Structures are given as structure tokens and as C-alpha cells.
Amino acid sequence: MIPSMLTRLDPLARTVSAALGELVFPTDCPCGRPDRTLCADCRRALCGSGFRCDTQATRLRRLDPCLPTFAGLRYEGAVRRCLLDFKDAGRLHLAPYLAPALGAALDCLAAWLPGVLAEVDGGPVYLVPVPASAAARARRGEDHVALLLRVWRRRERRRRDGVADFRAWAGPVPRERDALRVTRAAGRQKGMSLAERGEASTGKYSIRRLEGVRGRLPGAAPLAGSSCIIIDDVVTSGATLEAASVALRMAGVRVLGAACVAATPRS
């Protein structure tokens, strides 16, 4: 009964509710240590400075133009356990611990982008989260990427008192834009080979129709002519980011890059 009630609450309220529930009903840390929401070692593991990862992602290396992609953490060890628990074990209270890694990736991307941003002509730069499928939302009770982005934006506004420079440009914290929708479910990609991930993600996304005063405007792209940064949780082969960037670019959106919480390390 409690899980079903939580799924109907506002996402951020659910995060707080889950954290309060941990106080009443103690749980183990994702690493297995008892009576710890997140132990000190796992907290340290979630502190990262960010790095570029598109050069290691097979599907992103072939994109033209390229998609500069940065991640805050390496997807291994404690980071992998925490993300899996956050996504698939209902531990939404881990969002505030994971969101700073997304911020580190955005900082790295912005530091890399000054020359590119000079050509944006002062237009808005939107943050576009990769959407979860309806089945994934029903299973998890939340669109986890959108939740991470909302948590990060709220923390960022409070930290900078409503102004963010991202080390590269000045202005308000960029707005989130729910621009993509899932048109073809790819299923769970865990355990898939890199080739299978690419095939499953091809044509997966399209642009949401623009909501007009008199109803939907068929085929209208709400972001056409603007610029955006794609937000995701984990980069493995890059197939998901490739599919999202193709859909946005076909709709006339300038995709500046992507930022993710973690990336799978490649030897």
C-alpha cells in the first residue's frame, strides 16, 4: 500500500518521503552495510570531477557532427550499485547523492563549449532529459532521469541564488524541456551486447507535439531553431544518446552536447 501511495506523490516529495521512511525503517547501504542510507565510502565514490566519454562510446564516435558527451562518474563499483538501486530498487532517496555527478558533467561540458556557445546568438539553451518508456515508469514509479535533473536544478538555483555561470556562460539556470517521447520501446538493455543496444535504440525517440491553444499542432517541434543539451543517466555504447540526438537534429534543434551521471569505462 505504501509503495502505491508514494507513486502518486510529487517526485521530489517522494524523495523526501523515502528518506524519512529510511529513518523509521532502516535499510542497508547499496554496498550491503547495515543501517546506512549511504555509507561514507559510497558517498566518497559518488564524488567526481567529470570527464569526456563520447570518444569511448562506439555509437557516438560515428556521429557527424560529433556529440561532445561528459560524465561525472565511472560506471563501476559503488557507482554502479547506487545507480542500479536508484533505478530498479525504488531507492529514490539516492537522487540528491547522484545529482552532483550530473552537475560535474554539465560543468565540464560548459567549460568545453565557449566557442560553440558564441554562435548561439543569445538564444535559450534547454536541458532535454532522455525519457523513460511507459513500462519503465510503471515499474520504477518515476522517470529517473527527469527526477535527477529536477533535483540538480533545484540545488543549483539555491546554491547560486538563482544565477549560474557554469564556468562558461552567465544567466539563469537552463530550463528543463520535456521535448522527447518514446515511440518504440527498446526493452531492458541490461545484458545486451553493444550491437544489440544500437539496434534496439534506433528510431526509439521522436519530438513531442506542440500543445497549441486549440489543441495539438500535428508535427510541430517545440524546440525547432533552439539549442539543447541532452541529459541521461549512464552511457555505455551511446546508442540511446545517438537516437535522441538524431530525433532532435531532424526536428531542427541544435544539439550542443550531452551530460550524464556516469559512463561505462572502456579499456
Q: Residue 143: what pLDDT?
A: 92
Q: Residue 134: what pLDDT?
A: 86
> Could you tell me what percent of the chain has a pLDDT over 70?
68
The sign one gets for the Cα dihedral 49, 90, 5, 25 is negative
What confidence tens digit (pLDDT) does each residue in 183-208 have?
866 555 555 544 554 454 556 788 77
Question: What mean pLDDT is predicted for residues 4-29?
Answer: 58
Contact (CB, 8 A) for 264 and 197: no
pLDDT of 248 higher than 60: yes
Q: Residue 236: what pLDDT?
A: 92
CA distances to 90, 102, 103 from 107, rounded to whole Å, are 28, 9, 6
Q: Residue 178: what pLDDT?
A: 84
What confidence tens digit (pLDDT) does each residue in 18-73 have?
556 555 555 789 999 987 889 999 999 999 989 999 988 888 988 888 899 999 99
How far apart are alpha carbons 184 and 251 in whole angstroms? 18
pLDDT of 176 higher than 50: yes
Q: Residue 267: what pLDDT?
A: 59
Contact (CB, 8 A) for 48 and 72: yes
pTM of the model: 0.78
Query: Hey, what's the cell of 115?
Result: 566557442
Query: Hey, what's the cell of 261?
Result: 551521471
What confidence tens digit (pLDDT) does each residue in 86-126 have?
998 889 999 999 999 999 999 899 888 865 554 555 567 88
- Tell me the average pLDDT of the chain: 78
3-state class percentages of the chain: helix first, strand second, coil last, to nearest 5 = 40, 15, 40
Would strands 180-182 and 227-235 be described as parallel, antiparallel, or unpaired? unpaired
Question: What mean pLDDT is predicted for residues 138-157?
Answer: 89
Residues in the chain, overall count: 267
CA distances to 56, 177, 251 from 213, rounded to whole Å, are 45, 19, 21
Question: What mean pLDDT is predicted for residues 244-267?
Answer: 90
